[in-house]
Amino acid sequence: MKRVAYVAVACVVGLGLVVWLAAPQSALEWAAWIQAVGVLMALLWGAQLQNEAARRTQRQAQHVAALFAANMHWVFRELADACAKQSLADFLVHRRILQEILSQGREASLQQLDGRGLAMVTSLRTIAVEALEVMELVPEVPDWTALQGHFDRRLPTIVGWLSASGHPPETSGPTDYQGLRTSYGQLGGSRDPI
């Protein structure tokens, strides 16, 4: 933004000097000067719009990456809890949610992320794929302790990435998954149970 403003000021000053030193003498020269100024203003406006679009795209990619990290934190907590409770139903539901979250993480445009964001998304994608592979190998009667240990060991890494990106993990409980809000307040209904 500042660079475009400096270029615009320099162009105006330069045109002012040229007009002062070689003032147009006829209507044709005035028309040429007006057209030149219009072209320069259009170029500067286009550069400004392109700069704003790039910043907006980068902010959107960072937002998707932050949501991906927050959702990964939530689902790994839920998977660790399901293993602690030895609940196969909860485990299977949250495995499916992890697959959805991984697809959300693939939506983050890696070209638009800076170094830290790129490293975070790449690392979290790797953790999610590794967890899905571990869960695919689960037998009929899972080793709940080993599975819980797997998720518990990954949680500090996810929390570290969240904190490093300026988004400390939420502690609002089991309804903090972005996209699967379950409280009645989020749906516009009553908060009291029916």
pLDDT tens sequence across 136-191 = 877 777 788 888 888 888 888 888 888 877 777 655 444 444 444 433 333 334 44
Q: Is the dihedral of CA 146, 128, 122, 175 positive or negative?
A: negative
pLDDT, tens digit, 9 for 90 and up, residues 9-18: 887 787 777 7
User: Hey, what are 32's tokens?
Assistant: 């040429």
pLDDT tier at 193, thresholds 50, 70, 90: very low
Residues contacting residue 61 through CB under 8 Å, at least 6 positions apart:
108, 109, 112, 113, 117
CB 159 within 8 A of CB 127: no
pLDDT of residue 38: 85
Q: Which amino acid is at 113?
A: L
* CB distance 127 to 153 below 8 Å: no
Give the three-class secondary structure for 105: helix
Taking the C-alpha atoms of 18, 20, 25 and 29 in order, what is their torsion angle to the nearest 10 degrees?
A: 30
User: Model pTM?
Assistant: 0.62
Please name the residues in contact with 134: beta carbons below 8 A apart, sequence gap of 6 or more: 147, 150
Instruction: Calculate the alpha carbon distances from 2 to 8, 44, 112, 140, 160 in Å.
Output: 10, 12, 21, 62, 34
> Which alpha helices (H) appear in the chain, and where do they start and end?
2-21, 27-85, 88-105, 115-136, 144-164, 184-187
Most confident listed range (12-16, 30-34, 94-98, 157-161) = 94-98
- d(CA 164, CA 157) in angstroms, rounded, equals 10
Structure confidence at residue 64 (pLDDT)? 77
